[in-house]
Structure 1
Amino acid sequence: MPLLIFNKKKHRVLIILLYAIFAYSFFRYNAIPGSLRKIITLATVISTLIYLVPTIFGKLKSNVLGKYIRALLFLLLFSIIQAFIFHGQSPIESTIITIYDIGGVLFYFVLVKLKPTLKETYKFISIMVILHIILWIFGMAHFPEDIYTTSSDKNLDISRGIMRISLAAKPFLVLGLFIILEKAIIFKKKQYWIFVAAISTLIVLEVIRQVIFLSAILSIYIFIRKKRYSLIIIAIITMLLIGIFQFVEIGKKTIVGKMLALTERQSSFENNSEENIRITAYRYFFTEKNSNIFTVLLGNGYPHSNSKYGYRMFIERSRLKLFASDVGYAYIFIRLGLIGLIVFLLIFLQAKKVRNVPISIRIFVLYMYLLNIATAFILVDFFALACSLYIIDLHHNLNKANELFPSNYNTSI
Structure 2
Amino acid sequence: MKKALFVLTLFSSIGFFNPMQIFSPQLTKLMFYLCICMCALLAVTDGRSLRGIDYPRKSYWLFMLMIAVSTVSATAFHPQSYSVTLMSTLPYFLGYFFFWIMLKLALPERFILKWMFIGCMLAVPVYFINLFSFPNVVFGEEFNLDTSRGMLRVPVFFLEIMAFFLFYGINQLLLGRGRKNLWIMICGVCTLMIFMSVVRQVILYSMVLCILFLLKRSSWTKKLMVVAAGIIVVVYVLPMIPAYNTMLELSGDQLEENEEKENVRIGAWRYYTFENQTNGLTPIIGNGSPSFGNSVWGNVFDDAIEDNGYLYADVAWAGIIYLFGWTGFAALLILILKAVFKRKTPEREYLTYWFVFIFLCGIGSGVFIYYNSIISIMIGLYLVFGTNEKNSDNNPQLQQPV
Question: In which range does the TM-score fall when normalised by the shorter chain?
Answer: 0.7 to 0.9
User: Residues 217 and 309 of structure 1: is their aligned pair in 2 closer, same or farther, counting only changes over 3 Å?
Assistant: same
- Stretches of structure 2 that go unaligned for 5 or more consecutive residues are none
Name the CA distance, whole Å, in 1 between partners of 2:70 and 2:224.
44
Shifted more, 330-339 versus 233-242: the winner is 233-242
1:18-97, aligned counterparts within 5 Å? 18-27=8-17, 30-46=21-37, 48-49=39-40, 52=43, 59=50, 61-97=52-88
Verify the 8 A CA contact 2:77 2:278 in the aligned structure 1.
no
| Counterpart residue identity of residue 280, structure 1 | G
Give yes or no for contact 2:5–2:35 (8 Å, CA) kept in 1. Answer: no
- For the 8 Å contact 1:328–1:375, the answer to whether it is kept is yes
How far the C-alpha of 1:179 sits from its partner, in A, is 0.7
Q: What residue is the counterpart of 1:375 in the other structure? A: 365
Residue-by-residue CA offset, 1:112-145 (whole Å, 9 max, x unaligned): 2221122122212212212322332332243124
Counterpart CA distance in 1 for 2:81 and 2:35 is 21
Name the counterpart of 2:323: 335
Counterpart of 1:290 (choices 254, 274, 277) is 277
Give the structure 2 partner of residue 305 of structure 1.
Answer: 292
Aligned pair partner of 1:131 in 122, 126, 129: 122
- The one-letter code of the counterpart of 1:347 is L
CA contact (8 A) 1:105 1:383 kept: yes
**Residue 264 (structure 1) aligned with residue 248 (structure 2):** no
C-alpha distance after superposition, 1:378-412 (max 9, x if no partner) = 342112222221111146x536x89xxxx958696
TM-score normalized by structure 1? 0.82
Which whole-Å CA distance do the structure 2 matches of 1:60 and 1:88 have between them?
42
Cα 1:28–1:96 shift into 2, 3 Å: farther
Contact 2:70 2:288 in 1 (8 A): yes
Distance 2:163 2:274 in 1: 33
What letter corresponds to residue 366 of structure 2 in structure 1? Answer: A
1:187 partner SS:
coil
- 1:192-341 equivalences in 2 (<5 Å): 192-227=183-218, 244=235, 250=239, 254-273=242-261, 275-306=262-293, 307-341=295-329
Measured in 1, the distance between the counterparts of 2:87 and 2:135 equals 30
Structure 1 residue matching 2:133: 3-state secondary structure: coil
2:350 maps to: 360
CA distance in 1, matches of 2:276, 2:46: 35
The alpha-carbon deviation at position 239 of structure 1 amounts to 10
Structure 2 distance, partners of 1:314, 1:187, is: 51
Cα 1:242–1:321 shift into 2, 3 Å: farther
How far apart are residue 264 of structure 1 and its match? 2.4
What's the CA shift for 1:233? 7.7
Decide which of 147, 152, 158 is 1:158's aligned counterpart.
147
C-alpha separation between the residues in 2 aligned to 1:239 and 1:280? Answer: 34
How far 1:218 sits from its partner (Å)? 0.8
Instruction: Specify the alignment match of 1:119 in structure 2.
Output: 110
Q: Is the CA contact (8 Å cut-off) linking 2:173 and 2:183 kept in structure 1?
A: yes
Aligned length: 390
Amino acid at match of 1:111: M
Stretch moving more, 338-347 or 45-54: 45-54
Structure 2 residue corresponding to 1:349, chosen from 337, 340, 349: 337
RCO comparison, higher one (Cα < 8 Å, 6+)? 2
CA contact (8 A) 2:49 2:104 kept: no
Q: Deviations along 1:303-338, whole A, 9 cap, x unmatched?
A: 111121112222222222222222221111001111
